[in-house]
Amino acid sequence: MTESLTASVVGASGFTGGELLRLLYGHPDFEIAQATSRSYGNKTVGSVHPNLRGMDLRFSDPEELESVDVLFACTPHGVSMEHIDSFRDAADTVVDLSADFRLDTESEYDEWYDGHERPELLAESEYALPELNRENLLDADLIASGGCNATAAILGLKPLFDADVLSGGERIVVDVKVGSSEGGAGGGEASSHPERSGVVRPYAPTGHRHEAEIEAFLGTQVSFSAHAVDMTRGAAATCHVYPDDPVSTADLWKAYRGSYADEPFVRIVAGGSGVYRYPEPKAVAGSNFAEVGFELDPRNGRIVVFSAIDNMMKGSAGQAVHAANVALGLEETAGLEFTGMHPVGAP
Amino acid sequence: MTESLTASVVGASGFTGGELLRLLYGHPDFEIAQATSRSYGNKTVGSVHPNLRGMDLRFSDPEELESVDVLFACTPHGVSMEHIDSFRDAADTVVDLSADFRLDTESEYDEWYDGHERPELLAESEYALPELNRENLLDADLIASGGCNATAAILGLKPLFDADVLSGGERIVVDVKVGSSEGGAGGGEASSHPERSGVVRPYAPTGHRHEAEIEAFLGTQVSFSAHAVDMTRGAAATCHVYPDDPVSTADLWKAYRGSYADEPFVRIVAGGSGVYRYPEPKAVAGSNFAEVGFELDPRNGRIVVFSAIDNMMKGSAGQAVHAANVALGLEETAGLEFTGMHPVGAP
Amino acid sequence: MTESLTASVVGASGFTGGELLRLLYGHPDFEIAQATSRSYGNKTVGSVHPNLRGMDLRFSDPEELESVDVLFACTPHGVSMEHIDSFRDAADTVVDLSADFRLDTESEYDEWYDGHERPELLAESEYALPELNRENLLDADLIASGGCNATAAILGLKPLFDADVLSGGERIVVDVKVGSSEGGAGGGEASSHPERSGVVRPYAPTGHRHEAEIEAFLGTQVSFSAHAVDMTRGAAATCHVYPDDPVSTADLWKAYRGSYADEPFVRIVAGGSGVYRYPEPKAVAGSNFAEVGFELDPRNGRIVVFSAIDNMMKGSAGQAVHAANVALGLEETAGLEFTGMHPVGAP
Amino acid sequence: MTESLTASVVGASGFTGGELLRLLYGHPDFEIAQATSRSYGNKTVGSVHPNLRGMDLRFSDPEELESVDVLFACTPHGVSMEHIDSFRDAADTVVDLSADFRLDTESEYDEWYDGHERPELLAESEYALPELNRENLLDADLIASGGCNATAAILGLKPLFDADVLSGGERIVVDVKVGSSEGGAGGGEASSHPERSGVVRPYAPTGHRHEAEIEAFLGTQVSFSAHAVDMTRGAAATCHVYPDDPVSTADLWKAYRGSYADEPFVRIVAGGSGVYRYPEPKAVAGSNFAEVGFELDPRNGRIVVFSAIDNMMKGSAGQAVHAANVALGLEETAGLEFTGMHPVGAP
């Protein structure tokens, strides 16, 4: 093995930061230089992330960044744009996991968010959803890792566009079900256990900001609605689409195999026997896998597309490591081999 | 109070039967005559339904039905049509909770199920969703209590048709999330706790039989898909519709208030502050309430309609008692006053 | 029916307050005069407690108490003692649900808590666990409703003392499992859904304040430990005791029947067939029932005692209404008839 | 790397078998030769274990065992003893995960189970709990991997004996909380999701067979009781012990550090700040780690000992691989590096 690359995690006490620490710790090519946290001073990372209790690493001050090969920014939306210069001073490659650099233009950003501090970087940064744009990531030095709900929706829908099943004018409903970790550590009343457990709760049922990413990537509008359900990890997208021309199940298999046959992290799951016939968040919990599948509804002229990821992994930390692997010319799957477990409860 | 009416529950060891026993036990006008079970012979009802451990009642033989005022049939689909003559011999009013008598014509039935044994009764029986057709139920003697998913979807969508927001030609996506009790007692591998907990699992994503009921009632096609999520009770429908003509939020309030302002069991929940802004199964768990709500998506020309019920109550046992109350001229809310709890976990 | 009595709930936006509103709303003898809340001003009670969305009642100012027959205080520990004079000015009967007046003497209080502001009231107030001391509650005007964990433990153990199976010198382990509602509304990081779901988490494993109540009531020391588990409602106590003299299962049945045969809210559950053979929180969720049971372990000379309640009901709001019913000479079960449901998820 | 060793899993369609496949698949020194299943014929392992959907491996016939270096038997209790000769013919090293060979003598076995078919092998087989007896496992050819509840209890209690805090005559209460995967795949009514979710359910509250293993290993009697709680994976033991002589917290730290300071899979967790202060199953889900901790209760002269494992890992598949690593002279941690996740729901 060659010499290790060094990596830092800024905002390492949050859920995404914790997962990055876990992944980097097990990654053959990275050595963790810093895990910063404003709140947890000099505490061990295991005092916040109990799965890492055995790890000999303490949180450090985000104001004193060391020079590293790659820096992962896990700060809340709006914070990365403020500190981006110091991040880029510290690291050759910056992977930002927030929404700050995901859109391409200031006008797009302003439509969904409030005023970007560094709009000139929007064009420079590369959106990362490696299955669909890995060629853009080679040697990229500012990477915006794709968002969880957007990743689920895009992975499910993109093959239909690539195979010309959809052309862009159709109405597309994206009905997403997500776990409580999407709200991040800390949480308020809505995410307290008594209020949050057992829910099917609509939130941001219209106008969700992830619509922006999806539309930017697919080049067409989608009708997005999210629901909180009782799991900790996971995002599952059910997309209801009505192609103009009839398609067969064979056409759909061809479309999805065409897009994903050689992808190391995508599994096509559509039918079969037994309990598990479609994509499910449980089946990918803890892993960087995405599952996509479909079912044809000839009676209604509809295709139902299913997509499932672990929002902490393929939807954030795993995707970020995957992107870094590509950008740095490493084995794409390095550090991301964990396959998930069976059985697993509410992942 | 006048003399009690007598009621029997056939198939009383199942989940729906248990809920009926609970409701009839607390009902001011009914006295339970029999609770039949093929499997649990002479055991106490509390040995199967632990909440009824204090009740002095034993399961009896379904072959020896007593004469009663009303008989509730909680048998699996296909069984009621076989025994319907003995049910009607035993009771002036039969409320069937299965799908056997929900559709109106044999051809409709054959499209979704396999061969009806007593097709001549399909026209005679009355479908019960009391909010929308209570006038049909007065003095009805064969009532088919509406199904859980269909009830959720119909209650959510009907006001849009009644207020001419929808006319019938539009595409309607009905994306339903349901609890594990829909599978009934017993269960197989798919509903074992290790496999079923924490899921977002598509099932019958196309061609679900409840489509038939919804379409029969609304007079238009719908694109229905169901997902199992981690709760025991509850059905939540999210309907995505695109009206031909633009509507305002005020129009929607007017439509829903027009349909439900005086309904004792329907709550309109759309917006507001705090944790609970939309319909949620948790908010109605254990009760006969249905919640309906909506959100306008001007960007996509979409209305998102939400509907939530307890599938064991408004979706089966509660609806059946409600229908019986109407049919027998009792107070509509009699025996159905329980308001649900807060907080409640996975209901 | 005679004229209604009036009742107020102080601190009505908390979980316990919400349950009291639900119970009083359905109670045949009470009319709700006020539901006070410092935080929710003039909002409807349904904006906080979604199960009460249909109720026409708004929170009012706790500084402006109306004169009522009974006032239920659901304020945090330490607040009742501060406001007790205004509570007693407003109401003939005050039922306090906090720990402020549960102990008998200032020295006991100081051992477990920090300084009582009104120690002279400790001797005057009556601890309420109606099954075991209802005679003290008749005409009581200051009632301290028993705590949840203490209620579970005491109901389980008391019959063994009453039947002389235990005499007081034995070691008694009380291993309790509780739901997240014990932490109250609001919650912090530890009770956020991602951290709290799926746990078996020791908390206050030694020195828990409920030890004080149990020991005061039973007159002997107990070794108490609590664990958070994944449910919202419920407290289950498993007590491990080693009697000096051997006992038989028949002796135990005699002891428990001797204590509880005529109790309307206690069910003895010990053995039998099927899924439900012992006390379980699920079986009593939403109800005022307590279940107690036992198993003999001859090999180890041990009795294992099980006890299960809904901490929001028999452990707080239900117990408080039960106590008020006794104090005011009403039917003991009035307003408390709900039997729970089957199935129910994480209650 | 040297040439791979070959490994087979007999009974690979069960939960434990699936976890073994996952571990062996990621193990640097093993190559999977066979995964047998009587029920799933020639199906892919991913059709049963959805996390392994990407794995190119099909179930094979258990009657046709290939010659391998190590065979893991994941068959139900009683099956291994029947087939043990064919297992040993096929493999130099057999690791049995059932209870068939855990006890040392026929008389012990007969006390807890019903008649052993091959009692002469009881003395020959080695019980595996590597932290406490790894020296016995070197070159062992018939290994009985320790049971889940026993492992949790023994790991928690053993240091107290080794440090002479306990001597063997004391009463020891072991109150265990376990997840639904302990019931295995398939399940019956008691483990169906509607009945099993949200439970605190005593089962085998006295006379549990794991008492035998614990007592055999510790050389003293324990009072064991198990409770089902709402998680899929995990076993947490709370042990209540009363030493004859007073001890300090420092004594306890010394005892536990003495036993586990150098153990790669044991974490001592006792106190500290934040949410996670004691052992929790969530913190080790998916990993081979065990957490042990303690709290002193001076008032009652009690030590409360906590222990938490993933019953599928440290309690079965992980322990079996650990034992095989020791027996075959491999790196002890090989294939067992996964650290668990944070957050994780009901693991």
pLDDT of residue C2: 59
Residue D347, pLDDT score: 64
- Contacts (Cβ under 8 Å, ≥6 apart) of B74: B9, B10, B11, B12, B14, B16, B17, B20, B97, B98
Contact flag C173-D177 (C-beta cutoff 8 Å):
no
B273: which residues sit within 8 A by CB, 6+ positions away? Answer: C47
Is A186 close to C198, i.e. CB distance below 8 A? no
Distance CA C305, CA D129 (A): 32
B330's tokens: 């009792």
Q: Which amino acid is at B60?
A: S
CA pair distance A18, A24, nearest whole angstrom: 10
Stretch B199-227: mean pLDDT, rounded? 93
- Please list, in sequence order, all residues whose beta carbon lies within 8 angstroms of the beta carbon of residue A300, skipping any fewer than 6 positions away: A242, B171, B206, B221, B222, B223
d(CA B311, CA B232): 9
Contacts of D189 in chain B (CB under 8 A): 185-187
Question: Could you tell me where the DSSP H helices lie in A163-205?
Answer: 193-196
pLDDT digits (tens, 9 = 90+) for D131-156: 999 999 998 999 999 999 999 999 99
- Find the residue in D nearest to B181 (Cα): D194
Residue of B nearest to D234 (CA): B194
Residue from the list D15, D189, D194 with its beta carbon closest to the beta carbon of B194: D15
In this complex, the residue of D51, D181, D345 whose CB is nearest that of residue A283 is D51
Nearest to A103 by CA among A81, A130, A132: A81
**Residue C83 confidence (pLDDT):** 98
Residue in A44, A199, A339 to test binding to D, most D beta-carbons within 10 Å: A339
Quote the CATH superfamily of domain A5-146+316-327: NAD(P)-binding Rossmann-like Domain (3.40.50.720)
D325 is in an annotated binding site: no
Mean of pLDDT values over D279-291: 97
pLDDT at B137: 97
What does D78-117 look like in DSSP terms, one character per residue?
Answer: THHHHHHHHHHHHEEEEEE-SSTTSSSSHHHHHHHSS--S
Measured between beta carbons, the chain B residues lying within 8 angstroms of A302 are 206, 223
Task: Give D85-94 pLDDT, tens digit per residue.
Answer: 999 999 999 9
Query: Which chain A residues touch C if contact means CB-CB below 8 Å?
Result: 15, 179-181, 183, 185-187, 189, 191-198, 230, 232, 345-346
At residue B235, φ and ψ (nearest 5 deg) are -140, 130
Q: Which of C285, C291, C287, C293 is nearest to C333 (CA)?
A: C287
Q: How far is CA C210 from CA B80, C17, C154, in A?
A: 53, 21, 11
pLDDT score for A331: 98
The residues spanned by each domain of chain A are 5-146+316-327, 149-309
Q: Rounding to the nearest 10 degrees, give the CA dihedral for residues B36, B42, B48, B54.
A: 100
| Beta-strand pair D200-203/D223-229 | antiparallel
> Residues of chain A whose pLDDT is less than 50?
1
Structure tokens at C213: 């109540």
Residue B298: cis peptide before it, omega within 30 degrees of 0: no
List pLDDT tens digits, range D256-271: 999 999 999 999 999 8
How many other CB atoms sit within 10 Å of the CB of residue A207? 15
DSSP 3-state of B218: helix
The partner residues of A302 in beta bridges, in order of sequence, read A297
Task: Determine which of A39, A74, A344 to mutate to test the interface with D (most D C-beta atoms within 10 Å).
Answer: A344
At a CB cut-off of 8 Å and minimum separation 6, what does B222 contact? A300, B153, B157, B172, B173, B174, B211, B214, B215
Listed range (A43-47, B113-117, B292-296, C207-211) with the worst mean pLDDT: C207-211
E-state strands within chain C: 5-10, 30-36, 68-73, 91-96, 126-128, 142-145, 172-178, 200-203, 223-229, 235-241, 266-268, 290-297, 302-309
B5-124 topology per CATH: Rossmann fold (3.40.50)
Q: Render pLDDT for D13-52 as a digit per residue (tens, 0 to 9).
A: 999 999 999 999 999 999 999 999 999 989 999 999 999 9
Spell out, as residue ranges, where chain C has pLDDT lower than 70: 1-2, 346-347
The CA distance from B194 to D24, in Å, is: 22
Cβ proximity of A73 and D286 under 8 Å = no
**Partner-chain contact B52 C347, CB within 8 Å:** no
d(C-alpha D69, C-alpha C180), whole Å: 49
DSSP string, D176-190: EEE-GGGG-SS--GG
What dihedral angle (degrees, nearest 10) is formed by the CA atoms of C101, C106, C108, C111? 110
**CA neighbours within 13 Å on the CB side: how many for B47?**
14
State the best of B148, B175, B199, B229 to mutate against chain A, taking most chain A CBs within 10 Å. Answer: B199
The CATH number of the structural domain formed by B149-309 is: 3.30.360.10
A307, β-bridge pairs: A237, A292
User: Comparing C-alpha atoms, which of B303, B309, B127 is closest to residue B216?
Assistant: B127
Specify the 3-state DSSP secondary structure of C307.
strand
Beta strand spans in A101-192 (E): 126-128, 142-145, 172-178
Confidence band of B1 (pLDDT split at 50, 70, 90):
very low
The ipTM (two decimal places) reads 0.96
Cα dist from B228 to A175, B184, B293, C339, whole Å: 14, 13, 22, 27
Rounded Cα distance, D181 and D191, in Å: 9
- According to DSSP, the β-strands at D5-10 and B142-145 are unpaired
**DSSP, res D67:** P
Phi, psi of C124 (to 5 degrees): -75, -35
Q: Any binding-site annotation on B16?
A: yes
CA atoms within 13 A on the CB side of A208: 26
Query: What letter would DSSP give residue C314?
Result: I
Which chain A residues are closer than 8 Å to C181 by Cβ? 194
CA distance to B230, C133, D210, D263, D311, per residue, from D189 (Å):
18, 40, 23, 40, 22
Q: How far apart are CA D287 and CA A147, in angstroms?
A: 28
C236 CB neighbour count, 10 Å cutoff: 33
Give CA separation, C235 vs A12, A254, B341, D135, D220, in Å.
36, 54, 17, 44, 32
**Which amino acid is it at D1?**
M
Which residue type occupies A13?
A: S
pLDDT band at D1 (very low <50, low <70, confident <90, very high): very low
